[in-house]
Amino acid sequence: MTLTPLELTRPASVTDAFLQQLVARVPGSSGTTWKLTEVYTGDVLVELPQSAPEDIERAFAVAREAQRKWAATPVKERLAVFKRAHTLFVDHARAVADLIQVESGKNRRMAIEETCDPPMVMSHYLKRAARLLAPVKRGGPVPLVTTSTEVRQPKGVVGIIAPWNFPFATGISDAVPALMAGNAVVLKPDNKTALSPLYGIRLLEEAGLPEGLFQVVCGEGPDVGPTLIDHADYVMFTGSTATGRVIGERAGRNLIGCCLELGGKNPMIVLEDADFSEAVRGAIFGAFGNTGQICMHIERIYLPESRYEEFKKAFVAAASALDVRAAYDFGPDMGSLVSVDHMRRVKSHVDDAVAKGATVLCGGKPRPDLGPAFFEPTILEGVTAEMLCGVTETFGPVVALHKYRTVDEAVALANDTDYGLNASVWSGDVVAGCALASRIESGNVNVNDILATAYAAKGTPSGGVKNSGVGARHGDQGLLKYTDVKNLAVLKKQVMGPRPGQGYEKYVESMLSGLKMLRRFRIR
């Protein structure tokens, strides 16, 4: 690992005036603020207003007013905003990455990758939304004289609660299909990472999104969450499984829908015939990309007994050679964890594992010399289900190696978890890899990749099973979930019931033979 003393110049775009402008749109009538810090140094960047319940109620009222007009705007005009926004987002990717980096501490390579997510989502739904939102004639129960049409209507105001690990992607990308469908949005980002989504909203408004349609409220989750959920018509939540349960319970009580994108304890299975140099490279990204703070990242690696030592040696060497440090350029392979609190949580998982008999193959310690929340890329061996990191999500740069004797055993071990978000399978034979993938209980499985192929495939729904979530983002359902269906049924001529003079027996006879005909001729 490269050690570099902390010599940092904040990105030129991140000026005090710019930050003040960004946070000015967050309502905070009580005057309470939260100190939003630069992760690499711990210096306060800006005082973020904290929204009181009255502020949240007002945000919903303004959003609701704007939504009525927006829903009445033709889909084509709504989509034109996102065409312009796509260009603006790509043109301003570097400035967005600056904000993502200062507020999250991730390395620049991950920050710039994150900026690409909203434009990718926009591109996909720009091609798909008009068709998805168009009325669909389904045909009525009686041919010729009845019709039934599926009409999509926006839910109203969608509440989005976003985490800190991909603040721009989760804050903006999940709003895009909701807005395209004619909804307004009230976003609650994490306090730590409110800057990049605030900038994203500014870019959307520059592209022509009507003012008032996209509101932001800030505060600690338990303070803001209840009022937000109680006023929302639908909730899109990304975060931990524990918080997801709280959100889901409240949404259920209010009888509104919700999508919950939650945590994982994602396995990687390497088959004997895999290209090990590729698999090691994949594992480095899977375990340490975004400093191990990707919901779909890898925390458990299962290796064939016969090639365990070979993989271990190469993987430990590659992890030990990673360039870990604070920098606003593309140099470092890995940046900081998001906060000192989170670093302590990650450390507690490693300490617990070591106390219970696990071996640290590399890393294992905080690195205050690199910055307040840095933690070394850490590889463990001998992790068991009695250890915190054996069963619960660590969400840091910590990964455990395990041996398996048979493929059946590898599948059983991979599935032995309450989570089911992502899995990664490596084989020289794609057919064998896909066969193995079909046996893994997970919302996403990547063959010969870690996560990017599944996540970047915006046409396919992506979500978790088991305790990793309910519902999905991306794909048709990623937009349709923000709509209600109206079944518009038309009866052109009264044909139900006996005709004048026809007895009920005769009527029933003709109705039953009509049923048979409908099936035989497949009349819809």
Q: Choose one: 21-29, 256-264, 327-335, 506-514; the region binding ligand NAD (CB under 6 A).
A: 256-264
Q: Choose one: 91-99, 138-146, 242-250, 482-490; the region binding ligand NAD (CB under 6 A).
A: 242-250
> How many CA atoms, within 13 angstroms, populate the side-chain half-sphere of residue 2?
13
Q: Choose one: 6-14, 201-209, 259-267, 273-281; the region binding ligand NAD (CB under 6 A).
A: 259-267
Provide the 8-state DSSP code for 77.
H
In the structure encoding, which two tokens stand for residue 18, read together?
């710019």
Cα dihedral angle (258, 259, 261, 262), rounded to 10 degrees?
30
Smallest distance from ligand NAD to CB 376, Å: 21
Asked if 49 is part of the footprint of ligand NAD (rule: CB under 6 A), the reply reads no
The 10 Å Cβ neighbour count of residue 302 is 22
Smallest distance from ligand NAD to CB 243, Å: 3
Q: Choose one: 11-19, 26-34, 233-241, 319-327; the region binding ligand NAD (CB under 6 A).
A: 233-241
Task: Give dist(CA 132, CA 125) in Å, integer.
Answer: 9
Of the candidates 113, 114, 261, 393, the residue annotated as catalytic is 261
Smallest distance from ligand NAD to CB 71, Å: 26
Residue 52: φ, ψ to 5°: -85, 165
Smallest distance from ligand NAD to CB 373, Å: 14
Identify the CA nearest to 63 among candidates 187, 171, 151, 235: 187
Q: Which of 469, 470, 472, 475 is in the footprint of ligand NAD by CB under 6 A? A: 469
Please report where in the chains the tokens 């000192």 appear, as a residue.
340
Given the complex with ligand NAD, which of 113 and 190 has the nearer CB atom? 190
Identify the CA nearest to 363 among candidates 324, 330, 394: 324
Axis crossing angle, helix 16-23 with helix 195-206, rounded to the nearest 10:
80
Looking at the DSSP bridge assignments, the partners of residue 160 are 187, 236
Asked if 240 is part of the footprint of ligand NAD (rule: CB under 6 A), the reply reads yes
For 224, the enclosing helix (H) or strand (E) is: helix 221-231
Residue 371: φ, ψ to 5°: 160, 160
Smallest distance from ligand NAD to CB 338, Å: 8
Q: Choose one: 19-27, 47-55, 199-207, 255-263; the region binding ligand NAD (CB under 6 A).
A: 255-263
Q: Choose one: 39-47, 260-268, 348-356, 445-453; the region binding ligand NAD (CB under 6 A).
A: 260-268
Given the complex with ligand NAD, which of 56 and 334 has the nearer CB atom? 56
Given the complex with ligand NAD, which of 95 and 454 has the nearer CB atom? 454
Asked if 190 is part of the footprint of ligand NAD (rule: CB under 6 A), the reply reads yes
Q: Which of 221, 257, 335, 397 is in the footprint of ligand NAD by CB under 6 A? A: 221
Cα dihedral angle (245, 250, 252, 257), rounded to 10 degrees?
-90
Q: Which of 23, 81, 161, 383 is in the footprint of ligand NAD by CB under 6 A? A: 161
Task: Give dist(CA 45, CA 426) in Å, integer.
Answer: 43
Task: Give dist(CA 321, CA 385) in Å, integer.
Answer: 30
Task: Give dist(CA 342, CA 371) in Å, integer.
Answer: 13
Give every strand in the sheet of 483-491, ordered side by side.
136-137, 146-154, 483-491
Q: Which of 53, 264, 286, 366 is in the footprint of ligand NAD by CB under 6 A? A: 264
Beta 398-404 vs 378-381: how paired, if at all? parallel
* Residue span 287-306 as binding mask against ligand NAD, x where in contact by CB under 6 A, dash where not: --------x-----------
Smallest distance from ligand NAD to CB 291, Å: 12
Asked if 239 is part of the footprint of ligand NAD (rule: CB under 6 A), the reply reads yes
Smallest distance from ligand NAD to CB 465, Å: 11
Q: Which of 464, 467, 470, 474 is in the footprint of ligand NAD by CB under 6 A? A: 464
Give the E-state strand segments of 139-282 in sequence order: 146-154, 157-161, 184-188, 214-216, 234-238, 257-261, 266-270
Asked if 31 is part of the footprint of ligand NAD (rule: CB under 6 A), the reply reads no
Smallest distance from ligand NAD to CB 10, Å: 24
Task: Give dist(CA 329, CA 498) in Å, integer.
Answer: 79
441 classed as catalytic:
no
Asked if 56 is part of the footprint of ligand NAD (rule: CB under 6 A), the reply reads no
Contact positions with ligand NAD (CB under 6 A) in 165-184: 165-166, 170
Given the complex with ligand NAD, which of 247 and 268 has the nearer CB atom? 247
Asked if 423 is part of the footprint of ligand NAD (rule: CB under 6 A), the reply reads no
Smallest distance from ligand NAD to CB 212, Å: 22
Given the complex with ligand NAD, which of 67 and 339 has the nearer CB atom? 339
424, 324 Cβ separation under 8 angstroms: no
Q: Which of 74, 222, 497, 503 is in the footprint of ligand NAD by CB under 6 A? A: 222
Q: CB pairs under 8 A, 24+ apart, for 90-97?
A: 90/119, 92/199, 92/203, 94/13, 95/13, 95/199, 96/168, 96/196, 96/199, 96/200
Residue 168: φ, ψ to 5°: -75, -45
Instruction: State the residues that interact with ligand NAD by CB under 6 A.
Output: 161-166, 170, 188, 190, 221-222, 225, 238-240, 243, 246-247, 261-264, 295, 393, 395, 421, 464, 469
Q: Which residues are known to be catalytic?
A: 261
